[in-house]
Amino acid sequence: MMLKLLHYFPFIGLVVAENGLQAWLRYAPLPQGHNARLPSSIIALNSSTNSPVNTAGQELQKGIQGIFGNRLSISSIGKAPSSAVIGTVAQFQEAFGSSPVHNQLEEDGFWLSVNGSTVQILGQNERGALYGAFEYLSMLAQGNFSNVEYATNPAAPVRWINSWDNMDGSITRGFGGNSIFFADGHVVSNLTRAAEYARLLSSIRVNAVVVNDVNANFTTINPENIQGVGRIADVFRPYGVQLGLSLDFASPMELGNLSTYDPLDPGVIAFWGDITQQIYARIPDFAGYLVKADSEGTPGPLVYNRTLADGANLFANVIKPFGGIVMYRAFVYNQLPDEGDWKADRANAAVDFFHPLDGQFDDNVIIQIKYGPIDFQVREPASPLFANLLETNTAIELQVAQEYLGQQCHLVYLPPLWRTILDFDLRVQNQSSFVRDVITGERFKRPLGGSAAVVNVGLNDTWLGSHLAMSNLYAYGRLAWDWTSDSEMILQDWTRLTFGLDKTVIDTITQMSMASWPAYENYSGNLGEQTLNDILYTHFGPNPQTLDNTVWGQWTRADHASIGMDRTVSNGTGFSGQYPPEVAEMFEDIETTPDNLLLWFHHVNYTQMLKSGKTVIQHFYDAHYEGAETANNFVAMWQSLKGKIDDERFEDVLFRQVFQAGHAIVWRDSILNFYHNISGIPDGAGRVGHHPFRIEAESMELSGYQRYVVSPFEAASNAIAIVTLTNSTTGTATTVLNFTSGVYDLAVNYFDLYGGNSSYQVLLNQKMIGQWVGNIVDIGKLGHTPSIYLDGHSATRITFPQVPIKKGDTLKIVGQANGVEPAPLDYVVLLPAGVID
């Protein structure tokens, strides 16, 4: 793709309240004074209602009207000197006898020529033409009026989204409201949001959506629901977005009343043939199937001692005549490994299962591989399976849903993480073998390949629950088109489109977002030990103990002296040997393993020296303090944008940043309390376990409150909180402040449980200085998976800024219990300017 020449002009503030529904397709008016030369009419070479070219014409009209206020006419024939012509290359040739495009385009590709007011947008197919129209509009909306002329093609044919939406309307790992597709076992009647979603996806060149959860329910393919998903496909179609479905492998039994779901059984084959026919009868452009089989308890071919290739080829055969494909997930592992076995390793599973089958999958099967060998962790090495399937199509599975990455309540801009995987050189046969070139099919000359991203958009106006999280969705599409695109430039395009052209806004959001993944890694799990959240419960807040002593195999093997998984061939699980020799050698040797994956590959003492010159444990301490500080700085950075962004979105993001700042401290303290306790090694900088500005709630004078020992202990400051005596009474906690007189930020750490909305008041010398209700999780304001316990998920901070305090003042907190929530309090902290604790 050619470099864009950007001509920006000064931005004059324009802040109209917005709820986020338009995402990056706002077409907000540009300020006066620009020098745009616009076409005077639109010629869309196909005017039939459902055609993407027709959609493109409408979109151009809408966009140009929004940005510039001019309403252009649309026709389907003619040639005006200053018009925007849009269509396929073939349509253009037919209309005008010849075309400027000669063999440069591949499937879905487009040609864009902007020469002042004369614009030509030609797609290899209609979908490509629509992509080109969105690209032109994106330039205009960003104030970029350059002349351009280029052809662009996708890196790979598969640029899919996986929705984990359930038939009952819930979304697995959904943090932005319920499904836009399903409710109560059926497809919803109003599919407006589904159509709006397709529009967003088309603008980022995503070409298919699998609409139901990988843990599929057989009812999705009953006759009524095939008609229902057919309606979804109908609203997707004008946007060039195809529909796909996840399958439940046992459907022949559950839906077809057969006695087996053995993939080689003729009755089973006939059942799937019939289902496939029914689907294509309703949805002729159906994209294909997604299959999660023999994975986390789902049924699959292994039940019948058939191979995973038998399972995949079953669907491949029946769907082939219709031109569909099968995305078969590599997320297959023995979920009951024994931690007592030093050589047991869940990370080995994908290669163990799939490598022996290389070459046995049909050509319309793609093995869909999560980016790392475990499960969407904050840092993983690239899955070695990408280097082990030389005769099989592959795709990478990414997660826009921030399941283990703050659940859209923490800002984490993901492309830099994704790029560590995609840009990793696996050195297959000692030759350059970047993951990105494997999945596009280029490296091993495969006919198919690409990517799928798990995306959890819901009914929330913001789609993902968080305005800023939308940059991840936008960037996914942009990267799936071109994996070498720059993460920061994509982010800046998104920011201009989402928040306007103010330079401070762009710079600030860029700075925050680019710092966000490193910050989250710093406070959530370092050196390749994975995200230390509670893998047995919410996957949200910290709970490092849950990684070990479980059958889930996400072990850290932390004991009082040492930590890390020994994945070497010489002494450990042998995982490093799954990579090609050059890479295997690097990871086998502690000296050549990068610090950021040290604990992924090696089991070492906490006193092991890193390449950075710090010990492992001191790195933990420093990184967690650094990460929490960065997250706290985001608040002031965001606040500096007040007035430059509409209040509605400004306040919404501010709320989340304030939450993240508090929760980052919860993370920091939980993880550090845990390792400090288990290792007994003090923090060289004296911070861990030393909080001079805090007053523990349990050390205050209590009336109607009692001490409560929190589990896990590290989730509470000093391991203890206070709760009211009953679930309906009031308690007070009082203390005399022994601080130097001055102005402090007064923060209270409490626990916000699901199932209760306690209310609290803070009084200084009997005068109320603040109050709040612990209802954030109950009203779903943040959308993360809630907790009913006092733990690292429910631990929350509220801050009252700039409170004047005199030595000897009396501070009292009154808590009124509600529901299951006994007004739980952890501590109060009085923060002098510049202190984060």
Footprint of ligand GCU on this chain (CB under 6 A)? 172-173, 214-215, 292, 295, 331, 375, 403
Question: At its nearest, how many Å lie between ligand GCU and the CB of residue 170?
Answer: 12
Q: Where are the alpha helices (DSSP H) in 440-526?
A: 470-481, 487-499, 503-524
Question: At its nearest, how many Å lie between ligand GCU and the CB of residue 324?
Answer: 21
- Token digits of residue 79: 């040639």
**Phi, psi for 113 (deg, rounded to 5):** -130, 115
Question: At its nearest, how many Å lie between ligand GCU and the CB of residue 435?
Answer: 19
Q: What DSSP state is assigned to residue 560?
A: S
Is 296 a residue of the active site? yes
Residue 804: its H or E element:
strand 795-805
Residue number, 375 or 566, with CB nearest to ligand GCU: 375
> Residue 413, exposed/middle/buried by CB under 10 A (0-12, 13-18, 19+)?
buried
Residue number, 330 or 623, with CB nearest to ligand GCU: 330
Peptide bond into 712 cis (omega under 30): yes
Cβ-Cβ contacts under 8 Å for 634 (sequence gap 6 or more): 411, 512, 515, 516, 657, 660, 661
Q: Where are the alpha helices (DSSP H) in 339-414?
A: 349-354
The alpha-carbon radius of gyration of the chain (Å, integer) is 28
Cβ-Cβ contacts under 8 Å for 94 (sequence gap 6 or more): none
Question: At its nearest, how many Å lie between ligand GCU and the CB of residue 360?
Answer: 23
Cβ-Cβ contacts under 8 Å for 651 (sequence gap 6 or more): none
Residue 315 near residue 272 (C-beta atoms within 8 A): yes
Question: At its nearest, how many Å lie between ligand GCU and the CB of residue 373?
Answer: 13
The one-letter amino acid code at 668 reads R
Question: At its nearest, how many Å lie between ligand GCU and the CB of residue 295?
Answer: 6
Residue 741 near residue 760 (C-beta atoms within 8 A): no
Question: At its nearest, how many Å lie between ligand GCU and the CB of residue 378?
Answer: 14
Residue number, 169 or 238, with CB nearest to ligand GCU: 169
- Token digits of residue 698: 């349990």
Q: What DSSP state is assigned to residue 2?
A: P
Question: At its nearest, how many Å lie between ligand GCU and the CB of residue 795?
Answer: 22
Is 589 a residue of the active site? no
- Token digits of residue 376: 């969407």
Alpha carbon of 267 to those of 316, 320, 595: distances in Å?
16, 19, 54
Residue number, 196 or 403, with CB nearest to ligand GCU: 403
Question: At its nearest, how many Å lie between ligand GCU and the CB of residue 239?
Answer: 26
Residue number, 172 or 596, with CB nearest to ligand GCU: 172
Question: At its nearest, how many Å lie between ligand GCU and the CB of residue 542?
Answer: 17
Question: At its nearest, how many Å lie between ligand GCU and the CB of residue 556?
Answer: 17
Distance CA 14, CA 358 (A): 57
Distance CA 85, CA 459 (A): 35
Among 208, 223, 212, residue whose Cα is nearest residue 278: 223
Cβ-Cβ contacts under 8 Å for 507 (sequence gap 6 or more): none
Cβ-Cβ contacts under 8 Å for 340 (sequence gap 6 or more): none
Residue number, 316 or 330, with CB nearest to ligand GCU: 330
Question: At its nearest, how many Å lie between ligand GCU and the CB of residue 398?
Answer: 12
Question: At its nearest, how many Å lie between ligand GCU and the CB of residue 535?
Answer: 8
Residue 714, CB half-sphere, CA atoms under 13 Å: how many?
Answer: 25
Alpha carbon of 43 to those of 27, 36, 77, 78, 634: distances in Å?
20, 19, 6, 7, 46
Alpha-carbon torsion, ordered 229, 234, 236, 241, to 10 deg: 90
Residue number, 332 or 653, with CB nearest to ligand GCU: 332
The one-letter amino acid code at 555 reads W
- Token digits of residue 527: 């050196």
Residue number, 499 or 540, with CB nearest to ligand GCU: 540
Q: Check 94, 224, 296, 507 and give the catalytic one.
A: 296
Residue number, 105 or 171, with CB nearest to ligand GCU: 171
**Sign of torsion over alpha carbons 88, 94, 96, 101:** positive
Helix (H, G, I), strand (E, B) or coil at 243: strand
- Token digits of residue 808: 């000897």
DSSP 75-134: ESS---TTEEEEEEHHHHHHHHS--S--S---TT-EEEEEETTEEEEEESSHHHHHHHHH
- Token digits of residue 548: 């070990």
Residue number, 403 or 588, with CB nearest to ligand GCU: 403
Is 285 a residue of the active site? no
Q: Check 165, 196, 362, 375 and give the catalytic one.
A: 375
Alpha carbon of 62 to those of 55, 69, 71, 241, 284: distances in Å?
10, 9, 8, 20, 29
- Token digits of residue 207: 């070409």
Residue number, 295 or 451, with CB nearest to ligand GCU: 295
Among 332, 287, 280, 290, residue whose Cα is nearest residue 315: 290
Residue number, 132 or 465, with CB nearest to ligand GCU: 465
Helix (H, G, I), strand (E, B) or coil at 810: strand
Distance CA 74, CA 392 (A): 46
Q: Check 362, 380, 397, 403 and give the catalytic one.
A: 403
Q: Are strands 694-696 and 825-831 parallel, antiparallel or unpaired?
A: antiparallel
Residue number, 64 or 454, with CB nearest to ligand GCU: 454
Active site (catalytic) residues: 296, 375, 403
